[in-house]
Amino acid sequence: MSYTEPDPTENPRHFGIEPDEPWPDDVPHGQDDSHWRYEGDPRGARRAELRIAFCWSLTLLACIGLTWAYVDGAQNQAEGALWAVAFLGLGVGFVLWARDMLPGNEVIASRGHHHVCPPGDRHAVVESLSRGVEPMARRPFLFKMLGAVGGVFGLAVLFPLASLGDRPHENLYHTKWGRGVRLTTEDGKPIRPGDLPPNGILTVFPNGDLEDALSPSLLINIGNAQFHGSPSTVGWNVGSLYAFSKICTHAGCPASLYNVQTHQLICPCHQSTFDVLEECKPVFGPAPRSLPQLPLAVDSEGYLVSQSDYHEAVGPGFWNRG
């Protein structure tokens, strides 16, 4: 590589060259890495500034509209359109800022040396970054506008989070079953032990709470089959009647297809299969846990009731259950 003497009026550090180094012939003279589109044209700069402000004003108005839409319960289509306008205005504003307000011309720098960067090179990087920040710092109006947009945009983002509903806390661990709650059909009719024939199956609900999503259960009459339960579940049945949660422990589908020959419950969504005679433990498919068993009893009027709520959470795993 050949060298020529540097021009003393130029600042070679902008191009990775130390002031006391000779000028390499692969770096053109007269480059300006601080030039921006409207340099020396204050009217043009002002028009560019107003264009950016207009884009961000659209974002601001769209965010205000989103706030109103969530409070008023507007249609999803309207909310989606407002989100599109908000993101479009914000993005176009940043693109115009980068094009019109920041240095954007190409320059050629020296390849430098192939060892650890000297202090001059590191200083040149800092100077390059500062040349991108300075034009923005000269536009306090845009900074204020961006601050307002950021505040309202952040507020609008909170509304979709709030619309997810109340935090469940311990609700996922409990259903509407409890001590002395009668088992009823979907019509609200209470059930006696003799109402379900051998090998029969019936979806039951807690009396007065037909709409609770966690409570649907399956009452099964296993007939003359032998049930193999653990010592902790002894006394949870009424004769040959057993009850289990209807909610599959894989994805929450209703596990309600009963194979009388094998005494197995099958979930139609992903074919998880549960052995009723083995406390509904999974024997096939993706379900990771057994269907929880509901303790049964008979009240003074001869109707089936639950002894208590389920002793474990029903349905699929969640963040603090696994």
Asked if 202 contacts 243 with a C-beta cutoff of 8 angstroms, the reply is no
The residues that bridge with 158 in the sheet, in sequence order, are none
The tens digit of pLDDT for each residue in 151-196 reads 888 777 777 776 666 666 778 889 999 999 999 999 999 999 999 9
Rounded mean pLDDT, 190-215: 94
At 16, the pLDDT band (50, 70, 90 cuts) reads low
56, pLDDT greater than 80: yes
Say if strands 181-184 and 264-266 run parallel, antiparallel, or are unpaired: unpaired
Residue 10, pLDDT score = 54
Domain 174-306: what homologous superfamily? Rieske [2Fe-2S] iron-sulphur domain (2.102.10.10)
Q: What is the pTM of this model?
A: 0.55
The tens digit of pLDDT for each residue in 270-293 reads 999 999 999 999 999 999 999 999
Residue 137, pLDDT score = 53
**How far is 242 from 279, CA to CA, in rounded Å?**
9
Spatial CB neighbours of 115, under 8 Å, sequence gap ≥ 6: none
- How far are the Cα atoms of 36, 183, 256 from residue 216, in angstroms, in the given order? 68, 10, 11
3-state helix, strand, coil in the chain (%, to 5): 35, 15, 50
Residue 1, pLDDT score = 45
Instruction: Please measure the distance between the N-terminal and C-terminal CA atoms of the chain and give it in whole angstroms.
Output: 65
Asked if 153 contacts 286 with a C-beta cutoff of 8 angstroms, the reply is no
**How far is 110 from 3, CA to CA, in rounded Å?**
12
Lowest mean pLDDT among 97-111, 257-271, 278-292: 97-111
Q: Which part of the chain has CATH 2.102.10.10? A: 174-306
Reported residue count of the chain is 322
